[in-house]
Every structure is written in C-alpha cells, then in structure tokens.
Chain A
Amino acid sequence: MRQARLLVCAWALAGVGASGATLADLDRYEAALAKNADDLRAGSEYRQAVIQLKQYDRCIKFFEELVAKSPQAANAYLNYGFAYVDKIPDAGAITQVILANTALSHFSKSIELRPSWIALYTRGNSYLYWPKIFGKAPLGVKDLEEAMKMQKQDKLRSYHVRAYISLGDGYWKMDDLEKARAVWQEGAKLFPNEPRLKDRLSRSGEELAKYIDETLDPNKRVDTNLHELWEDQ
C-alpha cells in the first residue's frame, strides 16, 4: 500500500462535480497525466469524468498513447485497464468479453511493472467476473491471496475489506464454501459493520449463489473510483 500511497499525487480535482464533468475537464486531466503518467489519482478522477461524459473511446485511446510514451508507468497501465472496465456496462454482451479480456492484459502489465496491492486486488477481482466455464477463478484467488498477504503487513485500512469480500467470492466460485465463509468471517471480525460481508454470511445455497451472481453481473457498473486509496492514508 505504501507504494500506491507514494504514487498518489496531490493533484486537485478542481471543480469536477458528481455530475458536472465537461470536455474541458478531460483536457485538463489529460494534460496532468501527460506530465505524470503514473499519477493514480489523476487517472482515476479522469476516468470518473469520462464515465459521466461516456467518452470511453477517447479515454482508451488516451491511455493507449500514454503507456506508449511511458511504458514503465504501472499506474497508467492500471488506469488503462480500468478504462476498458468502465466501458463494459455500455457494451453488448460479446463486446463485454473482449473489453474484460483486454483489461486483464493491462492489469497484468501493471503487476509485471510493480505488483501493488491495488493492481493485484483489481486483477484478482476481475477474474471473478468471468463465468465458471472459463476457469479463471483460481487465477483470481491467487492474486487475491497475494493482495491479502500484502494488506496484512500494512495497517488496517478501510478498503482492505474488499480483499476479504473478493477472496471469499473466489473460494465460493471454486466451490470451496468452507474457505469462503472462513475468509468472510475473518473480514467480518475486522469490519463488523460491513454489509457486503453480512449479506454473504447470512445466505447459503441458491440464495447465496443468486446474490454473488448479481454482484458479479457485468451489466452492472463496477465502481472503479479509487478514492478510498487516498482517503485512508
């Protein structure tokens, strides 16, 4: 986490409201990222503005050019992958698969450059969105176990709950309900008020399956806003 924290610059959001993004905002973010491609926060906020404006293709093209110019910028690759994820809910079912697969390749590049908690968590969680038939859940679990190791060496942060949720989901997807419940319970001890853990632990069988399937529905927008990373420093 320390790595990620160090890479978050103090670049201010400067006037982009929840629903007030403009094309001029995109210009400003792009200019900022051109100066520091590895700026995770600027990249995240840029993408949130992109989502508001549905400028997905512009965003993808921008990051494509950015990583070409800054091939060592791990966070640029991470945001590049997220740019594909952000487009998924607005795409058709088959295009979603193509976008998801491309996102994975950029997350992998980010991990290759710098295996941060956020990159491992992100790729691991992404694998879980793939239907069982593709056999990607073990890959997701592997990444999430790595992320879990990393966070256990850090102080407890609010966003660490995500790894408990996703790792449990990964075990569940591998039909290991016992391990799934164990990791959710471990998370619930640390985050007793977390509704997503309560929801999982209070369900079983078909009800749990339905709940997780709905959670991992590619038609629902995934929150890719990384603000928690800098809100809990």
Chain B
Amino acid sequence: MSRRVLWIAAVVPALLLAWNGVAKIQFEEIAGPAGVQMTHTTRHFKGKSADVLRMFTSGGAAVAVGDFNNDGLDDLFVTDSDEGKHSKLYRNDGNWKFTEVGEAAGVAGGNDPLSIVADGLWFDYDNDGWQDLLVVRFGTPILYHNERNGKFKNVTAGSGFTKFGNSIAAVAFDYDRDGDLDVMLGHYFKAENLLDLKTPHVLPNDLDNAVNGGGVALWRNEGNGRFTDVTKEAGLAHHTGWTLDIGHGDFDNDGWQDFYLANDYGTDRIFFNNKNGTFRDTTEKSLGFDTKKGMNVDVADYDNDGFLDIYVTNITDEYMKECNMLWHNNGDGTFTDLSKETGTCPTLWGWAAKFGDFDNDGWQDIFVVNGLRSAGKENYIPVLVTMITTPGIDFTDVNNWPNIGNMTWSGYQRKKMFRNLGNQAFKEISAEAGVDNDLDGRGIGMADFDHDGLLDFYQTNADQKSLLYRGRTQGAGNWVQMKLIGTKSNRDAIGARVTLTAGGLTQIREVNGGNGYAGQSSLRLHFGVGRAAKLDAVEIQWPSGLTEQVNLSVNKIHYVQEGKGVVPAWGPKN
C-alpha cells in the first residue's frame, strides 16, 4: 500500500467523523399550521369484551406518503379507525400548506360496522404512472384506482381482494420480477371478525411463543387488475405468528426481494426468495428464534458496508426488558444483533422506527416512536400480571383479561432519535432534536415534503393528535434525491437499488414499498453526502435486471427513468 493510500485511509474517515460534529439535527413540529393535524380514534367495541378488544386493537393510526396527483410533492394519507370515522388525504399544496381532500377523492371510508381501517399503502398496481391506494383493514382491504383527476375509484370487487383478514401491515414489491407489484399483507389476529365474535378464544395462546396469529398473505398481481392469493404456493402458509410488520429488501444481494416479519408474542421470521415464486424460512440459521414482541421492521445499510441491515423494535420497559434488535447483515445469510453495542436497544414500548439521514452526513440515523397507552395515574401492569400469573389461565379467552378502563400502560414515553456516529455507534438526541414528544406513537411517514434536502416526517398517534416534523437542521451536508421510474420494471421502481459513491463513502438505498409499522415513506430516495460537492458514481440496479450508470449533481431532485437515464422533472417545485 502506498503512502498516499495510507494517508487517504487515515484522513478520510477522520474527515467524515469531523463532519459528524458539524450539524445539530433539529426539527420543528408544524402539524397545526400545515393543516395536517388529525386526532385518531381507535375502534370502540360493543359487549362485555369491548374494553379488552379495544386495548388489543390499539393500532390503526397509520400514515402513507405518496404523490397521488403527480405534482412532485409528496402527499399524506392518514387513517382513522373508529366506526364512521374518516381517513384523511392531505394534498401537499407546497409551502407547508396541505388541503384535506379525502372525501372528495373518495378514499375516506372503510370504517364500517364490521371493518376497521388499520393501514394504508400507495402503489401503482397497474403501472399507469399514478399512485393507487390500498386501504388495509381488519376486514377485507379496499383497492382504490387513481383516476388521475383527483378522484379514486373503488375497484376492490374486481381485484380479487375479497378474503377476510385482520390485516395490520402491507407492503408492495415485485417478488417474482414480472414487472408488476405484488402485495403482502400481515395479519395480526387469526381470521375471526372481532366485531362479530363467534368465539372468545381469539387472543394469543402464549405471550412469548404464540402460534395462533394471522400470519401473512401474499397476493400476486396478475397484471390485469386482479390479484391472486399465492400464500400457500409461495411456502408461507405455515407461518401463524402475530404479524405486526413486514420489511422487504434484497438481503443477500442476489437481485431478488426477501422479507422479514416482526411478530408480536413470539419469534420474528426471515424469508429468502428462491427465485421461483417461493420463499424459504431461514430464521433459525439467519437469526435464531426469539420470544420478543416484534413491532416494526425497517431496512437500511446503516454501516455502509453494502448489505441491508434490519431494525426491529420490541418492548423494553421497567417490567419487561426485551431490547430492540439491530440486525447487522453479515453478508452470508446470517445476521448479528448489535442493538446493545450500537446503543439502539432501549426505546421503551416501541412501535414504528425509520432510518433516515437527518443531517446529510452519509450515515443513516433512526427515529423511533413508542408508548402504548397514556391515561390515568393507575398502572395496568400489576393488574395484568395478576391475571398472567394465575395458574392455568387461558390467555386466548378474551373474557379472562382484565379491563384497562382509564389505566395507563407504558404511556407518556419520550420518543427516541439516534444519530448515527458512523462507527457502529449511535447517540440518542431526541430532546435536543426537538422530537421527544410523549404521545402514544404508532407510525412514521418520512419524506422531504418541501424539497429543501432535509428529511421531514409525520408521526401518527393512537387516540391522539398527529404531528408533522419539519427538518430544520442547520449546516447539514449536501444531498441528492432520486425518483426512479420503472419501464420494464414496476413503474414505482420498488426493489431498485442505487449505489452511490461520493466523498469517499459508498452508500446503497433500495426503493421500498411500505417498510415500517403503520407508515409508508416517500418513494423518492434520499442520500446525504456530507461535504462532497460532486457524486463520483451512481449506479442503479433495476428489478428487471438492467444496470444503469447516471451522472447526477448534488442538492437536487432527479428523475431517472429505466433505460433513459435522467429525464425532466415534473411538479411545481422543481
């Protein structure tokens, strides 16, 4: 190794580390002035088990970020869950002003007497260049086709999505690489309608190793507006865990999408793509089995080693010390949990968590929301433990669970933001960043809503008002954003991987179709590049198999079309 190389090897990391100390990550909460503050309501049930069922279904506060009107600005779909309550579609008008158009667009409904809206997912299922919307429910999902005029048409009846499920998570990705987006739904409870209970035995059979949950369903896009349930054919029918979230990505760099399941009350699972329409469960070899309460999956290469890592939230509180899992991808099909070593372990009762480079230094940071139920002074835990420790108690029976009433359960918890220090270490900075609210967080939708190069995010909260955090970091690094447009690949380019080299650092990003609990982030990829004034190389690996190099400049949003390279931008802000 020459002296010059040695010098570079010594100095470049030092410069990068020095950069880490420059910008102070800061956010400003502006949901009210921006017109996107919404108070979510969880479903109220009827009958003697009403209180317990409401407690068990305290999710449903979700956000999906997507540009439904193709004006270049990311909009927000925010769910509500109580009967008759309407979900909201907030159109981004620019300059931090949003207009609620959910009812006018025809996507506000779904909370009927026998269904509960739990999540939302934007994806262009028919590759027409316009974002369609899947409203995920405890019930049957609703598929809305984007009619390109600000209105949506309910096309569920002809879509094949007619199977009941207690769905709480949804991701879209092209698992078979046929050029259209397939859908995977995560089911929490087994397929019993909680709003019309036929049996009280609907709750987990074990609180650490439950096997009576709803599992997952994989719906293959047939390319003609119809979807077919291929769960069994894909080898996924045996999974009966309590799925809370799904995260997909190409974990083994073979060009095919794999996925990870965060399961409540028992072990998470990881599945690798067999490239023939099926998946193999490699949990035991890849991760080992766990007994934790998996809540969230987000996927990113946090240490810039060229392999996608996985972040899972669990429950770590005074009475239960599970610790999150930051699964470092070892590159050989196995993962090592480095949450304790990196300082990302304790986030209390975790829900959504998202990676994002908040200071544009080239290292992805993490934001985590938490908190189950903030209510009265009395704590539910001692009451619950009395039930749990009753010899021979049947946990599945909803009638055996004590009512929570106005009691608090892991409530009033401060959110956590971890700054990536770039050396396998994170620093918790939520208070100084201005994001340490104590609401009962659920979902996070991340995007650069105002095109200033800083990531912003929307936080949903159960039975509480939502929040919109605007990135305000001063002295942040340079950045580049890419909206990828598939042609042979799916139009949303979900699954496309970008490898970018700048400032001595090589980073990867993949376009994902809804990773993270109760929150879909922008399809536009965001890279921070620190002080680098130019990008040395940008390579795109499209799901079709095409690999393309493009020349891009910093501090700009680029539109890149498969096979054509950089194309003109659209929207008023470009």
| Residues of chain A having any CB pair with chain B under 8 Å | 91-95, 97-98, 101-102, 131-135, 217-219
Contacts of A133 in B (CB 8 A): 318-319, 379, 381-382
A92 touches B292 (CB 8 A): yes
Q: In the complex, how many angstroms separate the beta carbon of A168 from the nearest chain B beta carbon?
A: 21
B321 touches A93 (CB 8 A): yes
Q: Mark B287-317, 1 if CB is under 8 A from A, else 0.
A: 0000111000000000000000000000100
Contacts of A92 in B (CB 8 A): 207-209, 266, 291-292
Given A131-B319, A217-B321; A95-B208 close (CB under 8 Å):
yes
CA of A95 to CA of B388 in the docked complex: distance in angstroms? 9
A93 touches B382 (CB 8 A): no
Q: A94-B320, A135-B382 are in contact. List 17 more A-B contacts (CB 8 A).
A: A91-B291, A92-B291, A92-B292, A93-B208, A93-B315, A94-B208, A95-B207, A95-B208, A97-B385, A101-B385, A102-B389, A102-B391, A131-B319, A133-B318, A133-B379, A133-B382, A134-B382
Q: Among B206, B209, B388, which residue has its beta carbon within 8 angstroms of that of A97?
A: B388
Contacts of B388 in A (CB 8 A): 94, 97-98
Residue of A whose beta carbon sits closest to that of B266: A92
**Does B322 touch A at the CB level, under 8 Å?**
yes
CA of A95 to CA of B207 in the docked complex: distance in angstroms? 7
CA of A101 to CA of B385 in the docked complex: distance in angstroms? 10
Residue of B whose beta carbon sits closest to that of A95: B208
Q: In the complex, how many angstroms separate the beta carbon of B221 from the nearest chain A beta carbon?
A: 37
Q: In the complex, how many angstroms separate the beta carbon of B210 from the nearest chain A beta carbon?
A: 10
Q: In the complex, how many angstroms separate the beta carbon of B364 from the nearest chain A beta carbon?
A: 28
| Residues of chain B having any CB pair with chain A under 8 Å | 206-209, 266, 291-293, 315, 318-322, 379, 381-382, 385, 388-389, 391
Q: Among A93, A97, A218, which residue has its beta carbon within 8 angstroms of that of B389?
A: A97
Contacts of B382 in A (CB 8 A): 133-135
29 contacts between A and B (CB under 8 A): A91-B208, A92-B207, A92-B208, A92-B266, A93-B208, A93-B292, A93-B293, A93-B315, A93-B320, A93-B321, A93-B322, A94-B388, A95-B206, A95-B209, A95-B291, A97-B319, A97-B389, A98-B389, A101-B385, A102-B389, A132-B318, A133-B319, A133-B381, A134-B319, A134-B381, A134-B385, A135-B382, A218-B321, A219-B321
Given A133-B318, A217-B321, A219-B321; A93-B385 close (CB under 8 Å):
no
Give the 9 A-B CB pairs with smallest separation, nearest first: A92-B208, A92-B291, A94-B207, A101-B389, A93-B320, A131-B318, A131-B319, A95-B208, A94-B208
Q: In the complex, how many angstroms separate the beta carbon of A221 from the nearest chain B beta carbon?
A: 15
Q: In the complex, how many angstroms separate the beta carbon of B273 from the nearest chain A beta carbon?
A: 30
CA of A101 to CA of B381 in the docked complex: distance in angstroms? 14
Residue of B whose beta carbon sits closest to that of A99: B389
Q: In the complex, how many angstroms separate the beta carbon of A133 from the nearest chain B beta carbon?
A: 6
Q: In the complex, how many angstroms separate the beta carbon of B343 from the nearest chain A beta carbon?
A: 14
CA of A34 to CA of B434 in the docked complex: distance in angstroms? 64
Contacts of A93 in B (CB 8 A): 208, 291-293, 315, 320-322
CA of A131 to CA of B320 in the docked complex: distance in angstroms? 9
CA of A116 to CA of B293 in the docked complex: distance in angstroms? 40
CA of A92 to CA of B323 in the docked complex: distance in angstroms? 12
Contacts of A97 in B (CB 8 A): 319, 385, 388-389
Contacts of B318 in A (CB 8 A): 131-133
Contacts of A91 in B (CB 8 A): 208, 291
Contacts of B266 in A (CB 8 A): 92
Q: In the complex, how many angstroms separate the beta carbon of B241 from the nearest chain A beta carbon?
A: 13
CA of A217 to CA of B346 in the docked complex: distance in angstroms? 14
Q: In the complex, how many angstroms separate the beta carbon of B393 from the nearest chain A beta carbon?
A: 9
CA of A224 to CA of B118 in the docked complex: distance in angstroms? 47
CA of A95 to CA of B318 in the docked complex: distance in angstroms? 16
Q: In the complex, how many angstroms separate the beta carbon of A213 from the nearest chain B beta carbon?
A: 9
CA of A98 to CA of B386 in the docked complex: distance in angstroms? 10
CA of A217 to CA of B208 in the docked complex: distance in angstroms? 18
Residue in A91, A92, A134, A218 with the greatest tally of chain B CB atoms within 10 Å: A92
CA of A93 to CA of B316 in the docked complex: distance in angstroms? 10
CA of A91 to CA of B388 in the docked complex: distance in angstroms? 15
Contacts of A134 in B (CB 8 A): 319, 381-382, 385
CA of A219 to CA of B381 in the docked complex: distance in angstroms? 19
CA of A93 to CA of B291 in the docked complex: distance in angstroms? 7
Contacts of A135 in B (CB 8 A): 382
